[in-house]
Structure 1
Amino acid sequence: MSRYMRNRRPLAVVAATAATAMVAAGVWIANGTASAGVLSGTLYRDPDSAVVKWVAANGGDSRVGVIRDRIASQPSFRWVANYNPSTIQAETSAYINAANSAGQVPQLSVYMIPNRDCGGASAGGAPDYGSYLSWVQNFSRGLGSQMVIIVLETDSIALQTCLSSSELSTRNNALSQATQTIKAANRNAKVYLDGGHSAWNSASEQANRLRNAGIQYADGFYTNVSNFQPTSSEVSFGSGIINALNGMGISGKRQIIDTSRNGGAAGDWCADDNTDRRIGQYPTLNTGNANIDGYLWVKPPGEADGCAFQAGSFQPSLAYSLASGVQNPSSQAPVTTRGPVTSAVVTTRGPVTSAPVTTRAPVTTGNQGGGACTASYTTINSWGGGYQGEITVKAGSSSINGWTVTINGQTITQLWNGQLSGSGPYTVKNLSWNGSLPAGGTAAFGYLGNGSPGSPTLTCTSP
């Protein structure tokens, strides 16, 4: 069975300095203007990445020009892989704020699932699932409100050989809850689940696993992370997954493909010992394919997999090998503008298949308790016989410490990020972590319902 290359790379607080923010003259930063997928904007190039810092510190190295021009000039994902519950919110917020201030789209790879990599080269993660979900809550609080691309838990769905049936069920539930927590914290967060790659599980098997892990709550799935399968193979594989999901009644899901090192594919799977690999297509959201939201560098080129070097460590020899064999690299990189991300706070929820397009505009607002809080409803998605809804609670002119929303006119079957009671009308109370809101602050909870979403009647009160 073909395997992923594992990666463990900590999230560090962004320290943007002139020394590290180098872009070679004449090298274009990847474009984010979408021509087919639903994402758009300029991708954020992390000035604190390992490759950028190496370039800044090694100006006399004969390899620096190639690595600078062909790798360090491009945006790639930052990996969040150290279990740091007390600091993760601040660290995430610093990175997100830096990207937002630049008017660009941040990219994060969350790698914290318990028993990750089945104890392999990138073993680690949270100590247990309760700790994991608590960590996800802290992480989510740092995501802000603008668009962020999140790749959630590489290998967590495609690699299951070390899990018993009960452990697998627990992991699937945790992935589903993590996705919902992130989406509730930032409705503009784009979350993608593990799709393996085209030489691993079949498309139908991977689709079934994705369904079990809560793909219905995510924006889609990613494939080829740290691997070398050709882009054409991944496109075909992703199409098969999407078709299988559609057959299960799960529509509107899209794909991200990691092209960080699939420009040449020969030899052993472990890149640490392989010099035949090459960087693939430069990162872009301009895919020309309605099923694909991005060709992105999820695995930062030059970071090791745990074979000859420590997993996640930057190795200039690997970076140089990946970049030096590329022909006419400047012609590969798409021409871009450096303007603001025009769609950072605009979310398109409409699917790319035949499922009905839904609206993000609130359809009902309730207000009670002297303006203490208001509640507004949004249909996130809908299908024959059901829908996904979201309610946003907003504090009035003063801060509140707790809220209660009553919902009438809908049939709720499942709810997250709130305490549900009743059978219609329903009562939803805040959880311990989302009840205290500053003046004008917001919190959100989501749910699934039967039938048509209609126009629910809402009231919001605060003690």
Structure 2
Amino acid sequence: MSPTALRRSLLAASAVLVTAGVALAAGTASAGTLSGTLYRDPDTAVARWVAANPGDSRTAMISSRIASQPATRWLSNFNVSTVQSEVSGYVGAAVSAGQVPALTLYGIPNRDCGGASAGGAPDLATYQTWVGNIARGLGGRTTLILLEPDSIALQTCLSAGEITARDQALATATRTLKAAGAKVYLDGGHSAWNAAAEQARRLANAGVADGDGFYTNASNFQSTANETAFGRSVLSALSGRGIAGKRQVIDTSRNGGAAGDWCGDDNTDRRIGRYPTLDTGDANIDAYLWIKPPGEADGCAYAAGSFQPALAASLATNAPNPPTTTPPTTPPTTPPTTPPTTPPTTPPTNPPAGACGATYTTSSSWQGGFQGQVTVKAGGRAINGWSVSWTLASGQSVNQVWGGTLTVTGSTATVRNAAWNGSLQPGATADFGFIASGSAGTPGLTCTA
């Protein structure tokens, strides 16, 4: 489902392959910032094909080397009304399994510059509504999000004004998803596309400072060694712009063989690469992921995103068997229930028995807007629902809310609990966040249980 035809321009691009000589030091940590086992969805296209074709001569190999492995779930069929429930179900299943889910968001307007994977939202305002619904579906549960493949590396079809608007949309989406508990990585292109300094400039403009880092090689074939060197150069360039502490994710789904041109539909010299893992052994790399599910077409010989067993078998041929792993008996070390947001500037007050209290913090701000976070705390006995109200200052308006449902009457904004966070035991807390226009302040909150 990833952009395809746009990669034809790579052969003519002036980008050069970076070397490790300009890279950051690798560090001494055994892995990046993540730990745990990636979620393997039992209902993927490859899993369904394996189940339906037990007698096919290719089935055993495809099953053991591809269907057995976790790949990211793509949110590419743009549907504002159903995406929240889709995300909630998928992430909930992963958390119940004690595993870490990964989602690839692919709905930006004018995606693929009208190529084989064209589509997405009709406009940026609708796109933000879609992203907000995805955030609500996360429900504060830790999820890896690969935000919009090729949205930053590919800009040839956009005017200067459209590039600025897209950058702002990606920055807003990053903040929205971060506040909902996600680990967010932006499009880093790959080592044979834009130069590292140029890619870092684009990432900075698109708000990578508010995210966790960037991913590279999505749906492409560049070697892990080249991507690692390229990633270190991008990290170095970001550091030179005052953006530190970011990490890289590398798509290794199809980079175990030849590199070459952009399309994998009719090539037999491609192989699956390193198996997906969060145990990277590199402090600069958070994950090796199969962003592009192996066996799904690029769009040159087959429909983009369609599963083709011939492609899967070709990728799996001569590949090593995956390592044997034991499923975790406990959830990942990263707690799935608490979003990684800035803590309130003051702790939630202890409300009286049967009531609730609420505290506010501004988690980020920018010209013309800000992001707020509210923590609700139950009193001395359990509550089965809550609402928080405050008075909007002059010029303020709330544009998006996650973790609750918003109503505005005159200048009074009220957020009521979502279905999943309304019941609180004594002293327990719940969070909701919002993005608003205007200048940030410190509102006086009233909590009602």
Shared fold, TM over 0.5: yes
**Gapped regions of structure 1 (runs ≥ 5):** 8-33, 351-358, 381-387, 408-414, 419-427, 448-455
Match of 2:390 in 1: 404
Counterpart residue number, 1:302: 295
- Residues 398-456 of structure 1 show CA distances to partners (whole Å, capped at 9, x for unaligned) of 6444423999xxxxxxx9858xxxxxxxxx9858xx55553544312589xxxxxxxx9
Q: Distance in 2 between matches of 1:379 and 1:157?
A: 25
Distance 1:70 1:368 in 2: 53
Give matches, 1:20-419, under 5 Å: 35-184=30-179, 186-187=180-181, 189-326=182-319, 328-330=320-322, 333=323, 335-345=325-335, 364-367=346-349, 371-375=355-359, 377=361, 391-394=373-376, 396=378, 397=383, 399-404=385-390
- Among the aligned pairs, what percent are the same residue? 54
Provide the C-alpha distance between the structure 2 equivalents of 1:236 and 1:430, rounded to a whole number of angstroms. 49
State the number of aligned residues.
Answer: 393
- Pair 1:151–1:233, CA change in 2 (3 A): same
SS at match of 1:142: helix
- RCO greater where, 1 or 2, for CA within 8 Å and sep 6 or more? 2
Q: Say if 1:368 and 1:374, in contact at 8 Å, map to a contact too.
A: no
Deviation of the 1:334 alpha carbon: 5.9
Between the aligned partners of 1:193 and 1:430, the Cα distance in structure 2 is 32
User: SS of 1:365's equivalent?
Assistant: coil
Query: 2:413 & 2:212 partners in 1: Cα distance?
Result: 25
* Residue 460 (structure 1) aligned with residue 445 (structure 2): yes
**TM-score, with normalisation over the residues of structure 2?**
0.79
* Separation in structure 2 between the aligned mates of residue 300 and residue 398 of structure 1, nearest angstrom: 42
Q: Is the 8 A contact 1:203 1:244 kept in 2?
A: yes
**Alpha-carbon distance in structure 2 between the residues aligned to 1:53 and 1:319:** 13
Shift of 1:292: 0.3
Which secondary structure state, in structure 1, belongs to the residue aligned with residue 146 of structure 2?
strand
| Alignment RMSD (CA, Å) | 3.4
Aligned-residue offset at 1:340 = 2.4
Q: Letter of the aligned partner of 1:174 in structure 2?
A: A
User: Partners in 2 of 1:70 and 1:88 — Cα distance?
Assistant: 30
Q: Which amino acid aligns with 1:42?
A: T
Q: Show CA shifts across 1:117-165 (max 9, x none).
A: 0000000001111111011111111112221111010000000000001
CA contact (8 A) 2:223 2:259 kept: no
Distance of 1:405 and 1:290 partners within structure 2: 45
Aligned residue for 2:137, secondary structure, equals: coil
Cα offset, 1:365, TM superposition: 2.0
- Deviation at residue 115 of structure 1 after TM alignment: 0.4
Deviations 1:211-268 (A, max 9, x none): 1101011111000000010101101111111111111111111000000000011443
Quick one: which amino acid aligns to residue 296 of structure 1? Answer: L
Shift of 1:35: 3.1
8 Å contact kept, 1:260–1:282: yes
1:457 shift after superposition: 8.5
Q: Distance in 2 between matches of 1:4 and 1:289?
A: 28
Residues 185-211 of structure 1: CA deviation (Å, up to 9, x unaligned): x23x11100000000001110010001
Q: CA deviation at 1:377?
A: 5.0
**Closer/same/farther in 2, CA of residues 91 and 348 from structure 1, 3 Å limit:** closer
The offset of 1:183, in angstroms, is 1.5
The answer to whether the Cα contact below 8 Å between 1:284 and 1:334 also exists between their aligned partners in 2 is no
| Secondary structure at the counterpart of residue 242 of structure 1 | helix
8 Å contact kept, 2:71–2:293: yes
Q: Secondary structure at the match of 1:279?
A: coil
Seen in structure 2, the aligned counterparts of structure 1 residues 133 and 59 have a Cα distance that, compared at 3 Å, is: same
Structure-1 residue corresponding to 2:21: none
Kept after mapping to 2: 8 A contact 1:146/1:344: no
Unaligned runs of 5+ in 2: 7-28, 365-369, 402-410, 425-429
- The aligned amino acid for 2:236 is N
Letter of the 1:316 counterpart:
P
Judge conservation of contact 2:221–2:260 (CA < 8 Å) in 1: no
State whether residues 3 and 116 of structure 2, in contact with CA within 8 Å, keep that contact through their aligned partners in structure 1: no
1:343 to 1:377, Cα distance in 2 relative to 1, 3 A: farther
Q: 1:40–1:341: 8 Å Cα contact kept in structure 2?
A: no
* Residue type of the alignment partner of 1:393: T
Q: Taking structure 1 as reference, are residues 260 and 172 closer, same or farther at Cα in structure 2, changes over 3 Å only? A: same
Question: Residues 334 and 162 of structure 1: is their aligned pair in 2 closer, same or farther, counting only changes over 3 Å?
Answer: farther
Residue 443 of structure 1 aligns to a residue whose secondary structure is strand
What secondary structure, in the 3-state scheme, does the structure 2 residue paired with 1:56 have? Answer: helix
Are residues 108 and 206 of structure 1, via their aligned partners in 2, closer, same or farther at CA, if it must alter by over 3 Å? Answer: same
Instruction: Report if the CA contact (8 A) 1:365-1:458 is conserved.
Output: no
1:206–1:305 Cα change, 3 Å? same
The aligned residue for residue 5 of structure 1 is 4
Give how far 1:178 is off: 0.8
Are the counterparts in 1 of residues 140 and 336 from structure 2 also a CA contact under 8 Å?
Answer: no
CA distance in 2, matches of 1:92, 1:307: 29
1:213 is matched by which residue type in structure 2? Answer: A
Report the Cα distance in structure 2 between the residues aligned to 1:102 and 1:285, rounded to whole angstroms: 16
TM-score, normalisation: structure 1:
0.77
> Does the CA-based 8 Å contact 2:46-2:307 persist in structure 1?
yes
Q: Deviations over 1:77-128 (max 9, x none)?
A: 0100011111111111111111111111111100000000000000000111
